[in-house]
Chains A and B, each alone.
Chain A
Amino acid sequence: MRGLTLLLGLLVSLGAWSAEPSADPFGGDPFKSFQWPELKREFLGAKAKVQFDERVKVQGPPFAEDAMNVPITVMADLPGVQRVVVLVDRNPIRKVLEFQPLASRASVSFRFKLEQASPVRAMALTADGVWHVGGTLVDSAGGGCTVPGGTRADGSWTQTLGQVSGRLYASSIPGTDNAARLRLRIMHPMDTGLVGGIPAFFISKLAVRDGRGKDLLRIQTFEPVSENPVFSFDFAQSPVPPLRIVGVDNNGNRIDSQVE
């Protein structure tokens, strides 16, 4: 009985400990991350209009079994999304990608390198100038950004640089009403620059172009995107084939390939 009283006392004091002070140091962040106010300032601007919004869904695994390939799916279920920015609070390089859905859904799946447990955030900018923010928490044993990838370690990247594989699916994904999905893999070491003696070397821009030469989407990618990046993009209407993947890395190497 005495033990129980003590335990209750302990719980009460822990509760008092975590009570919030009057000024919220987290800027309303549901993840209560100390990095959030600074992230917002740095990437969206001090005066940006921001709201946490459950319609911006970010899915990931609860923990990173492979910290070099953490799968993330972002779905911004909002009208008129202009841009989607993905940031990771506690990565040494925090911006992962910036996505413009021109004629695609405001949804993107990719894999990235996670250095330690962190919130992963997607911010969708709508036409009214408001950033809608969603996120998920991924736990990690760490080390994703500071170890070389497999093709860098064995040198095989030089044989495959810029090669594209993938497929356009007539979508049959449960729970979606999409007409098509494009899945892609582009061979590239995506070096972060954080591994000794290996400078940053990564794909910086990609676009998916339809059979009439019109860009369906554009994406800027940064160092944290996984080696040999894998992406999925969804379309409400079937795009006009054939689709071309065009892009460039930070050393000027071109990517240009057709996928069916």
Chain B
Amino acid sequence: MPKRLSQWLLCATLALMALHGQGEAGAGVSRAQLAQLDYGLKARALADGVYVVEGAVDDFSVANGCNIINTGFITTGAGVLVINTGVSQRQGEQLRALIARTTSEPVVQVIHLNLHPDYFMGNQAFADVPLAATVTTRAGMQREAKAYEDNLYRLCGDWMKGTEARLPTQTIGPGPLRIGQREFELREYKGHTDSDLVLIDKASGVAFVGGLVFSERVPTTPHADPPTWLRALDQLAQLPLRTVVPSHGPVHQGQLGLQQTRAYLQWLDTSFTRWAAAGWEMNEVLRAPAPAPFARWAAWPAEYTRNVAHLYPRYERKAWQSGRP
């Protein structure tokens, strides 16, 4: 490589790294390196054999490789269970390599907690493993896969090279699940999407709560129904939650993330109802002041802009009457 070019590349890489350092906390957080298309995935043990691989607490961007999801894997004595496979073929491959570096057990099962792209677009790297999701999630993935491919290529660029949606091969429902020496409990809710799985490892109590709980991050709503979601959170709150792994936002103890998600959804639901009843236009809703904690969370205001596009029209329609001939 010519000397000047290599110096320039070094310079650009350092600048990117500096940009990256901002806003990401914790030593375990994965840091994407654009120049090498390296997600820098790191496994953090939450309990014996239970690992989380933390994505950026952020919005999709080229800088973070669109890795904004917390995936996980759990050793069972009879092979590894993987929870969600990431947003791209590359992320799936790097996740699988990370698992191989961490444990000698082979991967024997993948579970997708809902239909969103970062839960399964890494599946090409797990093509030899049973890939499981609920009936509803499987149907949703089939419906949306093409649109995900198009959108993610545009949002994430080179990180998506070679990525094609590979759909689940197995249907899984709520109930107990035993793999090797581990017992898991799967619970199915709805509200964030039409099927939201929660996976709890009984031995450690670690709960992978998928998209139902967001912590320090504005919730995403492309398939959401806030009142249904709030009811799911009420049910989830009945469980004795200990270590909680949300798909987006920091791993935490107990009900902290659940309470944040509930507060945000309640604010959306009551505000949208009130504003629609008062005749607010969408552009006024987009510019409404937000309560302080929400505006400090990651992905504000972009995610709120999406919330309004997804949800406000429903509230408007409820506020209108049919015209008379």
Contacts and interface: CB of A to CB of B under 8 A. Distances in A.
Interface string A59-94: 111110110010111000000000000000000000
Contacts of A183: 279, 281, 316, 320
B283 A245 contact: no
A73 B7 CA distance: 49
A176 to B, nearest CB: 9
Interface stretch (B8-16, B80-88, B188-196, B229-237): B8-16
Interface in A1-48: 2-4, 6-7, 10
B254 to A, nearest CB: 33
A163 B8 CA distance: 62
A73 B322 CA distance: 24
B325 A257 contact: yes
Contact of A3 (B10, B320, B321, B325): B10
A6 B281 contact: no
Contacts of A2: 7
Given A3-B10, A7-B11, A65 B323 contact: no
A211 B7 CA distance: 75
Contact of A181 (B151, B279, B324): B279
Contacts of A172: 278-279
B178 interface: no
A196 interface: no
A185 B325 contact: no
A141 B281 contact: no
Nearest to B310: A65
Contacts of A165: 317, 320-323
A167 B309 contact: no
B14 A3 contact: yes
Interface string A86-128: 0000000000000000000000010100000000000000000
A206 interface: no
Which residue of B4, B287, B309, B317 has the most chain A CB atoms within 10 A of its CB atom?
Answer: B309
B286 interface: yes
Contact of A71 (B10, B14, B154, B281): B281
B280 interface: yes
A245 B323 contact: yes
Contact of A166 (B10, B150, B281, B323): B323
A204 B68 CA distance: 45
A252 interface: no
Contacts of A59: 283, 286-287
A183 B325 CA distance: 17
Given A3-B7, A141-B151, A163 B323 contact: yes
Interface in A125-169: 141, 163-167, 169
A13 to B, nearest CB: 12
A167 B317 CA distance: 10
A72 B309 CA distance: 12
B282 to A, nearest CB: 4
Contact of B324 (A61, A65, A174, A258): A258
Interface in B279-325: 279-284, 286-287, 302, 305-306, 308-310, 313, 316-317, 319-325
A164 B10 CA distance: 61
Contact of A230 (B15, B316, B323): B316
B319 A167 contact: yes
Nearest to B301: A62
A61 B309 contact: yes
B281 A61 contact: no
B320 A73 contact: no
Contacts of B15: 7
Given A73-B283, A167-B319, A65 B151 contact: no
B309 A109 contact: no
| Central interface residue in B7, B282, B317, by most chain A CB within 10 Å | B282
A50 interface: no
B11 A173 contact: no
Contact of A69 (B10, B313, B325): B313
A60 B10 contact: no
Closest 10 CB pairs of A and B: A169-B279, A257-B323, A3-B11, A164-B323, A71-B282, A65-B309, A73-B283, A59-B283, A165-B320, A65-B306
Given A6-B4, A141-B155, 17 more contacts: A4-B11, A10-B8, A63-B305, A72-B283, A73-B283, A109-B282, A163-B322, A165-B323, A169-B278, A172-B279, A173-B279, A173-B281, A173-B284, A181-B279, A183-B279, A183-B320, A259-B323
20 contacts: A3-B8, A3-B11, A6-B7, A6-B8, A61-B286, A63-B302, A65-B309, A66-B310, A71-B282, A141-B155, A163-B322, A165-B322, A166-B323, A167-B279, A169-B278, A172-B279, A173-B284, A230-B313, A232-B281, A259-B323
Interface of A: 2-4, 6-7, 10, 59-63, 65-66, 69, 71-73, 109, 111, 141, 163-167, 169, 171-174, 181, 183, 185, 230, 232, 245, 256-260
